[in-house]
Structure 1
Amino acid sequence: MLRKVLRQCYSIHRPTYAVPRLYRRLCSSPSETAAATISIDRSSLYNPPEHSHQPSSDSELVRHLKGIIKFRGGPISLGEYMSEVLTNPKAGYYINRDVFGAEGDFITSPEVSQMFGEMVGVWVMCLWEQMGQPHRVNLVELGPGRGTLMADLLRGTSKFKNFIESLHVHLVECSPALQKLQHQNLKCIGEENAAQDNDKITARSSFGTPVSWNATLEQVPSGLPTIIIAHEFFDALPVHQFQRASRGWCEKMVDVAEDSMFRFVLSPQPTPATLFLLKRCQWAAPEEIAKLDQIEVCPKTMELTQTIVERISSDGGGALIIDYGLDGVISDSLQAIRKHKFVNLLDNPGSADLSAYVDFASIRHSAEEASGEVCVHGPITQSEFLGGLGINFRVEALLQNCTEEQGESLRTGYWRLVGDGEAPFWEGGDEGVPIGMGNRYKAMAIVNKKQGVPLPFQ
Structure 2
Amino acid sequence: MLRRSLSRISPLLSNGLLLRSGPRCCSSTHRFCSSSRSSATLNPSVSREEESRESPRPAATVSIDRSGLHNPPEHSHEPSSVPELVKHLKSIIKFRGGPISVAEYMEEVLTNPQSGFYINRDVFGAGGDFITSPDVSQMFGEMVGVWTMCLWEQMGQPENVNLVELGPGRGTLMADLLRSSSKFLKFTKSLNIHMVECSPALQKVQYSTLKCADEAMNDDSSAKRTISMLSGSSISWHATLEQVPLGLPTIIIAHEFYDALPVHQFQKSPRGWCEKMIDISEDSLFRFVLSPQPTPASLLYLTKRCRWASSEEIRDLEHIEVCPKAMELTHQIAKRISLDGGGALIVDYGKDGLISDSLQAIRKHKFVDILDNPGSADLSAYVDFASIRHSAEEVSDNISVHGPITQSQFLGSLGINFRVEALLQNCTEEQAESLRTGYWRLVGDGEAPFWEGPDELTPIGMGTRYLAMAIVNKKQGTPIPFE
What is the distance in 2 between the residues matched to 1:378 and 1:407?
Answer: 32
1:140 maps to which residue?
164
1:198 maps to which residue?
none
Q: Give the count of matched residue pairs.
A: 396
2:149 maps to which residue?
125
TM-score (norm 2): 0.81
1:330 maps to which residue?
355
Whether 2:412 is the aligned partner of 1:382: answer no
**What whole-Å deviation, never above 9, does each CA across 1:182-225 have from its counterpart, x for those lacking one?**
000000001779xxxxxxx9510012100000010010000000
1:278-317 map, 5 Å: 278-317=303-342
Q: 1:230 aligns with which of 236, 249, 254?
A: 254
CA contact (8 A) 1:334 1:355 kept: yes
Whether 2:157 is the aligned partner of 1:157: answer no
**What whole-Å deviation, never above 9, does each CA across 1:20-57 have from its counterpart, x for those lacking one?**
xxxxxxxxxxxxxxxxxxxxxxxxxxxxxxxxxxxx93
2:138 maps to which residue?
114
What is the distance in 2 between the residues matched to 1:304 and 1:66?
Answer: 29
Pair 192,423 (structure 1): closer, same or farther in 2 beyond 3 Å? farther
Whether 2:439 is the aligned partner of 1:434: answer no
The alignment-based identity, stated in percent, is: 78
1:273 maps to which residue?
297
Q: 1:94 aligns with which of 106, 115, 118?
A: 118
1:261 maps to which residue?
285
What is the distance in 2 between the residues matched to 1:289 and 1:138?
Answer: 40
Pair 270,202 (structure 1): closer, same or farther in 2 beyond 3 Å? farther
What is the distance in 1 between the residues matched to 2:446 and 2:216?
Answer: 46
Pair 192,301 (structure 1): closer, same or farther in 2 beyond 3 Å? farther
What is the distance in 2 between the residues matched to 1:306 and 1:271?
Answer: 23
Whether 2:242 is the aligned partner of 1:218: answer yes
1:388-427 map, 5 Å: 388-427=413-452
What is the distance in 1 between the residues matched to 2:160 and 2:101?
Answer: 42
What is the distance in 2 between the residues matched to 1:64 and 1:182?
Answer: 29
Q: 2:265 aligns with which of 241, 261, 265?
A: 241
What is the distance in 1 between the residues matched to 2:406 and 2:216?
Answer: 40
Amino acid aligned to 1:146: R
TM-score (norm 1): 0.85
Question: Which secondary structure does the structure 2 equivalent of 1:174 belong to?
Answer: coil
Question: Which secondary structure does the structure 2 equivalent of 1:273 belong to?
Answer: helix
2:220 maps to which residue?
none
**What whole-Å deviation, never above 9, does each CA across 1:321-356 have from its counterpart, x for those lacking one?**
000000000000000000111100000000000000
Question: Which secondary structure does the structure 1 equivalent of 2:409 belong to?
Answer: helix
Pair 192,211 (structure 1): closer, same or farther in 2 beyond 3 Å? farther
What is the distance in 2 between the residues matched to 1:299 and 1:166?
Answer: 34
2:71 maps to which residue?
none
**What whole-Å deviation, never above 9, does each CA across 1:370-415 have from its counterpart, x for those lacking one?**
1111100000000000000000111111112111111110010000
Amino acid aligned to 2:198: C
Question: Which secondary structure does the structure 2 equivalent of 1:250 belong to?
Answer: strand
| Cα offset, 1:424, TM superposition | 0.7
1:53 maps to which residue?
none
CA contact (8 A) 1:202 1:213 kept: no
Q: Pairwise CA RMSD of aligned residues?
A: 1.1
What is the distance in 2 between the residues matched to 1:335 and 1:281?
Answer: 23
What is the distance in 2 between the residues matched to 1:316 and 1:354?
Answer: 33
Q: 2:227 aligns with which of 183, 190, 204?
A: 204
**Relative contact order (C-alpha < 8 Å, sep 6+): which is higher?**
1
| Cα offset, 1:58, TM superposition | 1.4
Question: Which secondary structure does the structure 1 equivalent of 2:296 belong to?
Answer: coil
**What whole-Å deviation, never above 9, does each CA across 1:126-176 have from its counterpart, x for those lacking one?**
000000000000000000000000000000000000000000000000000
Greater radius of gyration (CA)? 2
